[in-house]
Structure 1
Amino acid sequence: MLRATLDQMRASAGRLTAAAIAILLGTAFVAASLLASATMERATHDAFTASYGDADLVVDAQGVPIGPEEVAAVRGTDGVATADVQSWFGLEVTGPRATEWVSFSPTPSDPRLAVGTLSSGRDATAADEIVLAADVAERLGVEIGDVVPVGFQVYDEATDTQEQRTDRLEVVGLLEASDNFFAMGAGGRLEPEALDAWRTEQNGGDPEFYGTVLVALADGADLESVRADLQSAPGLADASVWTVPELAAERTAQETGSNVTFLVVMLGFAAVALSVAGLVISNTFQVLVAQRTRTLALLRCVGASRGQIRRSVLLEATLVGLLASLAGLALGTGVVMIGVRVLDGAFASSTIGTTVPFSWPVPVVTLGVGVLVTLLSALVPARMATRVAPVAALRPVEGPSEQGAGRLRMTLTVAATLVGALMLAGGVALSLGLSDTDSADAAMLGGLAIGVLGGLISLTGILVGSVFLVPRLLPLLGRLAGKSVPARIATANAVRNPRRTAATTNALVIGVALVVMMSTGAYSARHTLMDELDSSFPVDVVAQVGDTSVGVTPEQVEAVRQTEGVAATATLRTGSVEIGTGDLTTYVDLMAVDSGDLGDVMRSDALDGLTDGVMVIGWTYELGDLDGETVTVTGSDGTTLDLRMVPGDVGQNTAYVTPEAAEMLVPDAQVTTIYARMADDADAVATAGAVQNAVNEVTEADGSAPVLQVGGAAVERAAYGQVIDTLLAVVLGLLAVAVIIALVGVANTLSLSVLERRRENATLRAMGLTRGQLRGMLAVEGVLIASVGALVGGVAGLLYGWAGAAVVLGGLGSLSLGVPWPQLAAVAVIALVAGLVASVLPARSAVRQSPVAALATD
């Protein structure tokens, strides 16, 4: 039987290619998922590891402040050679070209504890010395030997003002530029005692800090013994002591939510592709069994048992699965290897590297899954092969019309669909119902879990019940094909074998449903997030000073107004006032328009209620919401006003009043803020960058002009949109493979129909059906099958997308659901084209058969 099996495989090589392609693509996903996950985990792990140098141990105070006593206790522990505080401190550094806020770390006491590499010069060893990262120095326009002004602001509680502290430090060294986002103090180094002095001054005399301590062990010291001693050191009872790999793994899990998050998502896509591939493989082997009816019958006649026939089909499936899985492993590995090199070359800040960690589980899992899926998919065709009667099979048999299904399947369909729909609705209700409570996060996770389970159950009901639904939809769509003879025959042929047609459409339903679901979810997420950003951050671009005692210059205002892409601007005065109710008081930043119209620059209606006698105020910790209350507001010079409080999304501890009220409360307030609204067709990132460059040029030209910080919702909106678009592109690219595999299934189904209807097609040809009409008949059949799959999948995907968006985004409070019409139209067009393409090869096979020869086969 082995030789017979191999001979049959060689004879059916073309047909087996379809199954091989399906399993190749599915296993390529598995391999790529495992390798991509391992690559990203290693890159993240390496990024965190680089943040701790070559330290032997890291003492993490778990959010408790560390002071000089705790650091001394670490350094005095037996077995500790040296220990350094790992903290950072921000300073404003000014160079000839620009002024920039830079993050500094202390100079290491031991090379093993160094974070970053000194590329030139030396480390800072005195209070008047500084080391800068090479890229920071280039932007500032400074070199080794230059003396640069540095400073920061200190809050003076006695005078309730911000005081600027400055000093001049000499640049003595440069660090290699680092693209490591997680490395603290990556911008430069300061002498440790000087850094502590600056930080203590900023903290109002408090020497404590929040951070970690890096530990280098003495030669011969036992790591576990030192770890135990450190955990019992004075002041460190609640601290955690880690090795660098342990801490890197912990931080990786914290940043990603789980070490396997990305892997689970990717393997989910792989599971979808393999599920669709399984349907295609099953259809392929059904075609092969039908083609080999005579051969199987002859084998039975010469003594082959049912078991041998079954084993022959399963052996063939195993060999196909193994070879295709090997090719899928190679393809997936190659894609990941090429991908990391492309990312490394395209993005200078990429930390992924150029190597891919390849371990033994990758080939074992990939090959095992591929062979297993192929075997499971071939079980039903193998069973069909054993039912071939030795004598009856020697006569030509046309494919019988199969009945749909029984009551048990109908009961299962209704039950699964209803239960799944109720669970899906329950998940949405749970998430939305508790969105405004303290349990919102738990409700969202619970709702998501219930919703996903309900979605899977309801989708199972749809797939099981497709044998009832598809035969009823096909005639309805068939009417759109016209009343010609080929169209009517094609419609009748499409519903002749409902189970096979339903199995084929199920492959398309899965792929299309997921594509539409992700498109709908991304569309809803984009609009919901944009609405939320418009509400929470209603201003596109904000340029403001850090010190409210200094005002922006008219030249800076004009520079923002004249920037290309800016449609409207307004300037605001800022001051500090005290508000209180009874014994509770707090300070808020008071803002009022100086020039321009806020209605032209703000995208929300948060200030629509701002009138005389009203203060629109954001959330305050001390007072909470002050909805409708009349509160006494005390200005900078003691002037008081009674204003009615109106809550609004204007920022925490921030309030807006009319210009007249501001003149009474804070008459000396400076113009500190410029609001700008971008044109609707402006590039958000480019315009924000242009605004930054414009104000920088004015600041450099006018030495007395303050440094402005540029931000705003437009950049965040663009960032969110870019993330959503990128994720959607990746997801659609992955799920497109499932659709491609499903189209192979459509071609297989049409091929099997051509095989079973060989004599019927010959009779039609003999009665006058032309080759063109026969091609058209098969094309209509293919389009009908693809269209039904796209229709059912599209409706299901739309509903699942809305439900998923409601569960995940309902907590934001401004859920915006919509229909992604362009994506739906694209799916419809692709389904029509795919049906036509899938009919090409079967139609070619059908028209090449001679009517006389086909009728004579008896």
Structure 2
Amino acid sequence: MLRTALRNVLAHKARLLMTVLAVMLGVAFVSGTLVFTSTISDALRSSAREGYADVDVAIQPNSDGSGLGDRPALDQRLLDKAAHVPGAASATGTVTGFTAIADRHGKLIGTGFSTRGGNYYPGADGKDARYPMRDGAAPHGADQIALDSRTADEAGFKVGDTVRLSFDGPVHETRLTGIFTTTDGAVSAGGSLALFDNATAQKLLLAPGKYNEIHVKAAPGTSQDALETEIHKVLPAKGAEATTGRQLADDEAEQIAKSMESMQTALLGFAGIALFVGIFLIANTFTMLVAQRTKELALLRAVGASRRQVTRSVLIEAVVVGAVAAVTGLAAGIGIGAAMRALMNGTGATVPDGPLVVDVSTVVTSLVVGIGVTVLAAWLPGRRAAKIPPVAAMNSVHATATTKSLVVRNTIGALFAGAGIAAVLAATGMSDGKFVMGLGAVLLLVGVFVLTPLLSRPLIALAAPLLRTFGISGKLARENAVRNPRRTAATASALMVGLTLITGLTVIGTSVQKGIDKMAVDSLKADYVVSMAGLTPLSPEVAQKLGGLDEVTAISPLRSSEAEIGGNTTYLTGVNGKDFGKLTRLDFASGSLGDLAGGGLIADEDTAKEKGWKVGSRVPVTFEDGKKETLTVSGVYHGNEMIHQVIVDNGVLSTHQKHATDMQVMLKTKDGATDATKQTLIDALGKNPALTVEDKKDVSAGISQSIDLLLNMLYALLGMAVIVAVLGVVNTLAMSVFERSQEIGMLRAIGLDRTGVKRMVRLESLVISLFGGVLGIGLGVFFGWAAGELISASLATYELVLPWGRMGIFLALAALVGVVAALWPARRAAKLNMLTALKAE
């Protein structure tokens, strides 16, 4: 039986090639994802280890146990103590903070938190070992900086050039005195790093005399653990903690691994979809092979082969096919992993250098997935093959499905579909119905898949009027499409699954986009919102400068401050109480803005309900400096995703803040949002690349861009499932042509020309593809609506949007799948020799 199985694999190489391709695509995605994430994780971990190579013990701030008015800080006194503990060779204070750097064209280099500044801390030799200078010298004075070599080279900066910087809003011009090299992982990953002398860095990025961390290097012969023990003896009672460099590297590696998990899970999820769709193709392939070998298998049974041996022979074929597909998929996946890394580098999101990592687990997973999926898909055809009775050797086709089996199948499908619909509908009324909805979606998909043979006849019949326009070819195509409902259903289901996901995600994405857009428009009356890149704090100087412009009629900086209310930590949002009502549109459940400018407080409805507040309630508040005040609730409003905080006047907050900073600035202008006004604001801020000036259209465009980017990524990933579906349609049509060789020969003999034969096969393919497309789009809309009901509970402005244009494209894509998939089978059918086909058995 083993020799028979291997012989059959070699005898059907062309047919099995499509199965190999389907499995290979899925395995390639799985292995490519694992290789890519392993490579990135290994590179980042290596970079982390290099970053802590000269750090044996790090002293870091620790807020545990400190109250609101007692903020931890690391100062020069602690640094000097750490440098003189037994076993310490040296101690270095580090300062870091957001530092935006403009290139020669005034554009921001790097993005968000990867755009950083730091301190150059010279040792006894006058050099900082962390940052060897490649060109020039270290910075000295407030007007000098040094840049990392990667940033300097990309921006075209040279020693002596003027570089424009911004830390919290205002623009500073400095002279570039040095260009250094670094193993800093953030820089290797595409960030930028500017260095200042120690005193300047403390003043600009933290506070005079303060450090973010203190790094201590051990003397020869002193272990990290021993040094850590000594460091603990000089630490203050609270506000600081010591950790070994080894532990810090391990912790960072763990964080990197966790950060990669979500990406890996998402990518593997789409690989799973491709493999799931591939199961239909594999099952169809082996069903066809069994159909081709009906006589052979029956004769094997007649000469003594047991059912188990027949099943085993089919599964052996599946193992061989799966192994070939898994090995080729693994090789392709390694290439995909390398390409994905190169793609990241090409988009500017570079990663540290490092070798391509192919773990043993990746190899094992690829082989198990490839072989496992193929064997699983081939098991049912193998089981059917074992049931072929020996008497079938006298017939060309063995017994068709009985009425009883069809009734059982349709009953099971109806039960699954009914349970799925009930679960999905029930979940829409739950506060947290994600799990129930997910379960219902799976049950409904399974139910529709089982019912697809039953659904194929009435749905395909709807296309009859259109097919009649193609004459006899159209009529034959419709009859052929419903001749074997199970096979047609399996083929259409592959496309159905892909389009269900694509349509559902599109409905959800466009609806969420519409809801957030509506929320932004409804909540904001401000013409512009000014903020920093990376959402870092703004200097109050920005609001002061904008407030002095003649064009500005109302302005409110938004500030955030930690406070304690009722024994719980709460974040207060500070606003300009006088102008806040002119810049926002709040829907009050009770009360109003009232005396917000005079020391009042307003809260969103959820917070008020949780705290038991009503209009007029007196609220004792402990501010971040430890002082207490009692505020009066003047209003309770309906919160949303943009505004849902406890709001007080900035005049109240400022008296309790040592260093006031703004999150953003909202403002209204005389002429509204115009290009001229926007340019005036940009000019007034010194054409600062780190600042964004956005009107409502910009906010909406940003939301649209992020959601469109996500959807485009999903489309690209789900495209693999569509490719597998194309192979499935090709397989089904090839099977159909094989089974109808005599019939096609007869049609040719009685006058149907080759063009008519091609048209017949193409129309059959088109009908099957559109059948799957209609089912997929219908299910996708249903799931999109149901998921939207859950989302609307947390997003009040959510509005169901049916993207008719995109759904039309999806249906056209389904039709294109049918046309493309029919090219080879149609050509093969048209080339059949009439006499040979008529003699075929």
Q: Shorter-chain TM-score: which interval? A: 0.7 to 0.9
CA apart distance, 1:280: 0.4
Structure 1, 526-535 or 10-19: larger mean CA deviation? 526-535
The Cα shift of 1:825 comes to 1.0
Aligned equivalent of 1:494: 481
- 2:121 corresponds in structure 1 to 107
Q: Does 1:180 align with 2:167?
A: no
Measured at CA, do residues 457 and 622 of structure 1 come closer, stay the same or move farther in structure 2, by a change above 3 Å?
same
Q: Alpha-carbon deviation of 1:141? A: 12
Q: Name the CA distance, whole Å, in 1 between partners of 2:215 and 2:285.
A: 61
Does structure 2 conserve the Cα–Cα contact (< 8 Å) formed by 1:517 and 1:800?
Answer: yes
Instruction: Report the secondary structure of 2:92's partner residue.
Output: strand
Q: How many angstroms apart in 2 are the aligned matches of 1:830 and 1:167?
A: 54
Going from structure 1 to structure 2, the CA distance change for 1:541 and 1:849 (only over 3 Å counts) comes to: same
Query: Is residue 132 from structure 1 mapped to residue 146 from structure 2 by the alignment?
Result: yes
CA distance 1:291–1:105, change in 2 (3 Å): same
Counterpart of 1:820 (choices 803, 809, 822) is 803
Tell me, yes or no, if the aligned pair for 1:55 and 1:113 is still in contact at 8 Å: no
Q: For residues 687-726 of structure 1, what are the structure 2 equivalents within 5 Å?
A: 694-695=683-684, 709-712=691-694, 717-726=700-709
Aligned residue for 1:30? 30
Structure 1 residues 412 and 144, CA gap change in structure 2 (3 angstroms): same
Aligned-partner residue type, residue 180 of structure 1: V
Query: For 1:589, which of 572, 576, 581 is the aligned residue?
Result: 576
Q: Within 1, Cα distance between the matches of 2:720 and 2:358?
A: 24
Q: Contact 2:507–2:802 at 8 Å: present in 1 too?
A: yes
105-114 vs 740-749, which moves further: 105-114
* Structure 1 counterpart of 2:326: 325
Q: Does the CA contact (< 8 Å) of 2:88 and 2:218 recur in 1?
A: yes
For each residue in 1:382-406, what CA deviation from the matched residue of structure 2 results, as whole angstroms up to 9, or x when unmatched?
A: 2233334445324433784665845
In structure 2, relative to structure 1, the CA distance for the partners of 1:226 and 1:451 (3 Å cut) is farther
Per the alignment, residue 293 of structure 1 pairs with 294
Q: How many residues align?
A: 760
SS at match of 1:132: strand
Pairing partner for 1:775 from 734, 754, 758? 758
TM-score (norm 1): 0.74
1:268–1:852 Cα change, 3 Å: same
* Residue aligning to 2:87: 79
Deviation of the 1:34 alpha carbon: 0.6
SS at match of 2:90: strand
- 2:135 aligned residue: 120
For residues 167 and 472 of structure 2, what CA distance do their matches in structure 1 show? 85
Q: Which residue of 2 aligns with 1:387?
A: 387
Structure 1 residue 590: Cα displacement: 5.4
Rounded to whole Å, the distance in 1 between the matches of 2:49 and 2:594 is 50
What is the deviation of 1:351? 2.5
Matches within 5 A, 1:748-767: 748-765=731-748
Moved more, 301-310 or 808-817: 301-310
Describe the shift of the 1:117–1:453 C-alpha distance in structure 2 as closer, same or farther (beyond 3 A). farther
Partner residue, 1:517: 504
2:434 aligned with 1:448: yes
Deviation at 1:16, TM superposition (A): 1.0
Among 713, 724, 727, the alignment partner of 2:710 is 727
Query: Helix, strand or coil for the counterpart of 1:133?
Result: strand
* Partners of 1:524 and 1:818 within 8 A in 2: yes
Kindly provide the amino acid, as one letter, of the partner of residue 9 in structure 2: M
Residues in 2 aligned to 1:855 and 1:148: alpha-carbon distance in whole angstroms: 83
Counterpart of 1:356, as a letter, is L
2:223 corresponds to: 222
Pairs within 5 Å for 1:773-812 = 773-807=756-790, 810-812=793-795
Q: CA RMSD in A?
A: 5.2
Contact 2:39–2:354 (8 Å) recurs in 1:
no
* Contact preservation (8 Å) 1:93, 1:151: yes
Whether the aligned pair in 1 keeps the contact of 2:558 and 2:573 (CA below 8 Å) is no
1:584-733 to 2 correspondences below 5 Å: 588-589=575-576, 623-624=602-603, 694-695=683-684, 709-712=691-694, 717-733=700-716
Question: How much does 1:7 deviate?
Answer: 3.6
Q: Give the match's secondary structure for 1:314.
A: helix
Aligned match of 2:10: 10
Aligned residue number for residue 55 of structure 1: 55
Aligned equivalents of 1:467, 1:220: Cα separation in 2: 76
The residue number in structure 2 matching 1:338 is 339
- Quick one: structure 1 residues 552 and 91, their matched pair in 2 at CA, closer, same or farther if it must change by over 3 Å? same
Contact preservation (8 Å) 1:23, 1:277: yes
How far off is 1:790 after superposition? Answer: 0.9
Provide closer, same or farther for how the CA distance between residues 462 and 57 of structure 1 changes in structure 2, counting only shifts above 3 A: farther
Listed one character per residue, the Cα deviations across residues 337-360 of structure 1 (whole Å, up to 9, x for unaligned) are: 12322432442x523547432222
Quote the residue 2:198 is aligned against.
191
- The code of the aligned residue for 1:798 comes to V
Change (3 A) 1:777 1:422: same
Could you tell me which residue of structure 1 aligns to residue 111 of structure 2?
none
Deviation readout 1:749-773 (Å, 9 max, x if unpaired): 2222333334444455555544444
SS in 2 for 1:413: helix
Does the CA contact (< 8 Å) of 1:79 and 1:221 recur in 2?
yes
Alignment partner, residue 19 of structure 1: 19
The within-5 A match list for 1:735-750 is 735-750=718-733
Q: Tell me whether 820-829 or 3-12 shows the greater mean CA deviation.
A: 3-12
- AA in 1 matched with 2:733: L
Name the SS for the 2:576 alignment partner.
strand
Q: Structure 1, residues 459-489: CA drift from partner, whole Å, max 9, x if none?
A: 2222233233333322233344237444344
Match of 1:505 among 476, 481, 492: 492
Name the CA shift for 1:317/1:614 in 2 (closer, same or farther; >3 Å): closer
TM-score under structure 2 normalisation? Answer: 0.75
Unaligned runs of 5+ in 2: 65-71, 109-114, 532-538, 560-571, 609-613, 618-632, 651-664
Find the aligned partners of 1:690 and 1:516 in 2 and give their Cα distance. 40
- 1:735 aligned counterpart, secondary structure: helix
Q: Which moved more, 1:529-538 or 1:84-93?
A: 84-93
1:478-533 superposed Cα distances (whole Å, 9 cap, x missing partner): 34423744434433332333222222222111111112122223222332333344
Deviation at 1:592, TM superposition (A): 5.7
Q: Which moved more, 1:249-258 or 1:77-86?
A: 249-258
Q: What is the deviation of 1:320?
A: 1.5
Q: Specify the code of the residue in structure 1 equivalent to 2:194.
A: G
Q: Per the alignment, in what secondary structure is the counterpart of residue 462 of structure 2?
A: helix
Structure 1 distance, partners of 2:153, 2:597, is: 41
For the 8 Å contact 2:773–2:814, the answer to whether it is kept is yes
Residue 818 of structure 2 corresponds to 835
| Residue type of the alignment partner of 1:278 | I
Moved more, 507-516 or 215-224: 215-224
Deviations 1:23-78 (A, max 9, x none): 11111111111122223434554665676563233344343513446555644554
Aligned to 2:276: 275
Deviation at 1:837, TM superposition (A): 2.8
Q: Which amino acid aligns with 1:133?
A: L
Gaps of 5+ in 1: 154-161, 434-442, 558-568, 578-584, 632-642, 657-670, 701-705
